[in-house]
Every structure is written in structure tokens, then in C-alpha cells.
Amino acid sequence: MKAFKPINNIRDIRKKLGLNQIEFWGQVGVTQSGGSRYEAGRTMPKPVRELVRLVHIEQLDIAKLNRADVLISEKLKEKHPEIYSALKAEVAKA
């Protein structure tokens, strides 16, 4: 997947999740007023867009993520692709 893919329906995503603007935007460090402007069509900076994608689309709890977790995942994928693929398939079922 290409990084920084456009998110065109941000308000729809927020409403589908059942969050108000303060809850939704607060999880990625954006004020309610800033989020409101993005929902109204203002261009969202790439870092904010990626945080929205990770937190609200990929449902990643970034507070629990650290560098070691990412590096372990990369090593597992590189050195043991069969285990990585099996774990990925198992997680997809959950």
C-alpha cells in the first residue's frame, strides 16, 4: 500500500465510528476546530493523514506501539516469512 494515500471521506469515517469531532481528532493530536476544517475540505497535511489512517482506519493503538515492535515484525517477515504469513492470516480472521 502506498503511503499518504488520500482520505476523501473523513467525516463519513468519523461518523461510522460514532465519534464526535473532539474524540476523533483528539486521538491524533488535532484540535476540534482543525479537524472541522479538514472535514470541510481543507487539505490535510500528510503526517496528520497518516495518523488518521493508522488510528482510525487501521485501528492501531499508537500508544501501545514502539520501535522494537516494528523492528521485530520486520525481522520476522524477513527471516521467517512462513511464520509471518501464518500469523497475519490468523490475525485477519480475528
pTM of the model: 0.75
pLDDT at residue 3, rounded to an integer? 58
The string of pLDDT tens digits covering residues 17-62 is 999 999 999 999 999 999 999 999 999 999 999 999 999 999 999 8
Q: Alpha-carbon distance 78 to 73, whole Å?
A: 9
pLDDT confidence of residue 16:
96
**Taking the domains of the chain in order of start, what are their residue ranges?**
10-57, 64-94
DSSP symbol at 58: S
Nearest-angstrom CA–CA distance, 31 and 21: 8
Beta-carbon neighbour count of residue 23 at 10 Å?
A: 12
Assign 4 a pLDDT band (cuts: 50, 70, 90): low
